Structure 1
């Protein structure tokens, strides 16, 4: 018995180690900070306007189109197949970057990259289906740290190979192809979860629904399944009836899961405070995606890569490190986020707006780099606070659902912004004008949450003042005299 308990308690180690190994190599990308110089340079010979107004919008559209179906099938397929597909798509990305030429290949690359990012929901959800609840916090920290370390080391290595070793961009992508292949191969040794986060409650949901509808049945205490007293055993049931029962059970299972998702959705958004945090998550993530996707184009505009040394990898490494420190510091901040949270969102959104404006209006690449560091660190700080506030008030299933819904809303907003501002069929604005608009976007977000934050704080102070007045009133001896006289 003691051996069995020990095996169960240590069962989280192997899947966590394999998933961390996968995440490290999937995010170890020496070439990613130099994607724009690689595309606009002699290797691919694509113009800056084509990259801005044609190629990069495809990623946004494909991510939006794929996120919802991938999110829905991930739990049904039990995570691992989707992680394997993500590994395949990562390998395809760098095969195309290394060996393919022409706009059609690069367009497919952007679509394929949308599949990679849409599949991240499987990577970050898989571990919760194979470990116990008491290990959630530990494995989450391991996974997040591993991806962060992988990206930081990859960016650092890319900068060193480029600046010190004078290595061409092509060989950085070749290294990426190797690391993506390692990640892909490691995905096969992940243990297959026996059940998903939502489908694991299938039998319980069916049982509850049957009992709710007045079905005459009993629940097997050993298996947790619902046994209908009116149904004959499978061994004496005709073959056609078995098939019909199987189809009915599958449809019932899907209906139960959809019902559970709907109940979880209502639970997620029943709190007004969680709605405000989720709105900021969606608005800020939309802006972050735009800045992250197009900042290399702005850097290339301010300081063309063909005329000067490029330090994109070093900047990404520093930015990730500063963001990690900012995120880590959140755990040591003692603040009543119910009162000050919305005001903090508004204030740091103003910092984001100022950083984006600084990037847009400067002619110095170093000022542009500094603005990006300030922007990303501020975003990572706030998204950590937001994630913690939401997760602290929800079950893991509800949190996973809210994560998917908030990301989907962010992508819808980003798609609208991309279609109007970036796409050649829309306004097709130049990169500097785009960043001015992104800065203005964060100004609007900041103003909205500053107003809401001031209202929340004022409402709290007024309520506290009223409470103190009532307390003073009841403590007044004259009041007790009056009350005693009347009695």
Structure 2
């Protein structure tokens, strides 16, 4: 019996179930779908302008400010302390929502929620540290419930020979090449910590230099560069839509005078997103040929969904547009995650994921400052969604042009090879 338990715990199924259970319970927030009606209702008595232009933007700013420190914290203390920090931040968030009042108190709520989303790094990274490469596509599709920063602490000892990652990863050579990493035995013994007070500073400097070198090597691949470009652009737009869609719903069907179904819509959207994400684990497609075309096509659908949400006055049409938008994004982000993971060596794929999301957050911050914040344009909510729909139209145009170029190049290359083989 003990041998059977040991075999199960070493398989990819056991850690996937445990980590997905953690993700389920931390993201199961049924009241979140009614946050805007709650804040503008009699209990908190805030105006829709205060919620939209003063409170919600704080989440974006705090998320950006905390992202890099949490990235380094995860690398230093590994996963479990960061998961604990996430849990504490969630508790503080909900306690403040229950008992605090006023704009400033709700801005503090958004700060701690920014901590929650920044610390999701540990959840998304942990799965890759305990699962072998051959299961990346499937576990990526299983553990997607939302899409934030991804990180893998390469100093975590990994089970299984095919993982081949030892401690002291910051001293290893660049690892964004597509060949597999050598085994720990081939690399020699693990470097031992050196005594002295100066070591933390020199170690931190060496880590930062290594990260910069790895990023340069990662983005030298044109294929990975374009997948990452879509990731950053689309994730920025997605986060912005999710953050403000409740305000649009409340504008079209005010909760104090209409029957609202925000919770049901979010539940269906989550189900559709999970279903499409899981389907990716079983789809066999030549993504090198059709991947960028898929990015273009589904980005067109995203743009159309957002423009529908802008132009319609019917709340049900708005709900339908949101369902389509979220399902398309979840499908594509899962494909992008898998494509980047399988084209990088195991040690630094999380660095690229993390940097992609950092770039996305910078773009989202710019959108928030210019479009939403009262110190910027402070646009009304319907105009905001016109901007978001136009934004995804631009993304679709970029990747439609790129996909046509890729397909034509591959066809021309194959034709040339066939002609050369015929002549010989």
What TM-score comes out, normalization by structure 1 length? 0.75
* Matched-pair contact (CA < 8 Å) for 1:283–1:410: yes
Structure 1, residues 78-112: CA drift from partner, whole Å, max 9, x if none?
12111111111101111111111111110100111
Q: Which residue is 1:455 aligned to?
A: 405
CA displacement, residues 338-367 of structure 1 (integer Å, 9 cap, x when unaligned)? 122112211111111100000001010000
Q: Are 1:423 and 2:373 matched, yes or no?
A: yes
What whole-Å deviation, never above 9, does each CA across 1:51-97 have from its counterpart, x for those lacking one?
11111111011101110110111120112111111111101111111
Q: Is residue 202–residue 253 contact of structure 1 (8 Å, CA) maintained in 2?
A: no
For residues 147-226 of structure 1, the aligned pairs below 5 Å read 195=156, 200-202=166-168, 205=171, 224-225=189-190
Measure the CA separation in 2 of the matches of 1:74 and 1:52.
Answer: 32
- Normalised by the size of structure 2, how large is the TM-score? 0.85
Q: Return closer, same or farther for 1:308/1:461 CA change in 2, 3 Å cut-off.
A: same
Q: Which residue is 2:84 aligned to?
A: 84
Preserved contact between residue 141 and residue 278 of structure 2 (Cα < 8 Å): no
After TM superposition, give the deviation of residue 317 of structure 1 in Å.
1.1
Bigger radius of gyration, 1 or 2? Answer: 1
Pick one of 386, 399, 406 that aligns with 2:336.
Answer: 386
Query: 2:30 aligns to what?
Result: 30
Corresponding residue of 1:152: none
1:267-346 pair list within 5 angstroms:
267-346=217-296
| Contact in 2 for aligned 1:76/1:196 (Cα 8 Å) | no
> What are structure 2's unaligned runs of at least 5 residues?
147-153, 159-163, 175-183
SS at match of 2:168: helix
CA shift digits 1:5-61 (9 cap, x unpaired): 974763578866654443222111110111111111112111111111111111011
1:308 counterpart SS class: coil
Instruction: Identify the residue that residue 435 of structure 1 maps to in structure 2.
Output: 385
Question: Structure 1: which 5+ residue stretches go unaligned?
Answer: 149-192, 210-218, 228-241, 475-487
Cα distance in 2 between the residues matched to 1:329 and 1:105: 42
Corresponding position of 1:101: 101
Partner of 1:262 in structure 2? 212
8 Å contact kept, 2:371–2:377:
yes
Relative distance call for 1:469 and 1:432 in structure 2 (3 A) is same
- Look up the match of 1:374: 324
CA displacement at 1:405 relative to structure 2: 0.2
Question: What is the rounded CA distance, in whole Å, between the counterparts of 1:270 and 1:61 in structure 2?
Answer: 30
The 2-side partners of 1:472 and 1:109 are apart by 69
Between the aligned partners of 2:264 and 2:382, the Cα distance in structure 1 is: 23
Could you say what secondary structure the match of 1:42 adopts? coil
**In 2, distance between residues paired with 1:103 and 1:64?**
21
Q: Closer, same or farther in 2 for the Cα pair 1:221/1:371, shift >3 Å?
A: closer
- Is the 2:141–2:281 contact (alpha carbons within 8 Å) kept by the matching residues of 1? no
Change (3 A) 1:390 1:40: same
CA–CA distance in 2 between the matches of 1:424 and 1:301? Answer: 18
Cα deviations across residues 253-293 of structure 1 (Å, max 9, x unaligned)?
43443344234323321210100000000000011011101
Which residue of the partner structure matches residue 144 of structure 1?
A: 143
1:346–1:450 CA contact under 8 A, matched in 2: yes
- Whether contact under 8 Å (1:19, 1:143) holds in the other structure is no
Partner of 2:150: none
User: Match of 1:133?
Assistant: 132
Q: 1:380: Cα distance to partner?
A: 0.8
User: Would you say 1:122 and 2:87 are equivalent positions?
Assistant: no
Indicate the residue corresponding to 1:483 in structure 2. none
Q: CA RMSD in A?
A: 3.3
Per the alignment, in what secondary structure is the counterpart of residue 10 of structure 1? helix
Give 1 or 2: higher helix fraction.
1
Query: 1:413 and 1:318 mapped to 2: Cα distance?
Result: 28
Aligned residues: 402
Maintained 8 Å contact 1:16/1:139: no
Once the two structures are TM-superposed, the CA of residue 132 in structure 1 deviates from its matched residue by 5.8
Alpha-carbon distance in 2 for matches of 1:327, 1:143: 7
SS at the partner of 1:369?
Answer: helix
> Aligned pair in 2 of structure 1 residues 222, 61: CA closer, same or farther (>3 Å)?
closer
CA distance in 1 between counterparts of 2:71 and 2:271 reads: 30
Q: Once the 2 structures are TM-superposed, how far is the Cα of residue 426 of structure 1 from its aligned partner?
A: 0.3
Distance in 2 (alpha carbons) for counterparts of 1:431 and 1:224: 58
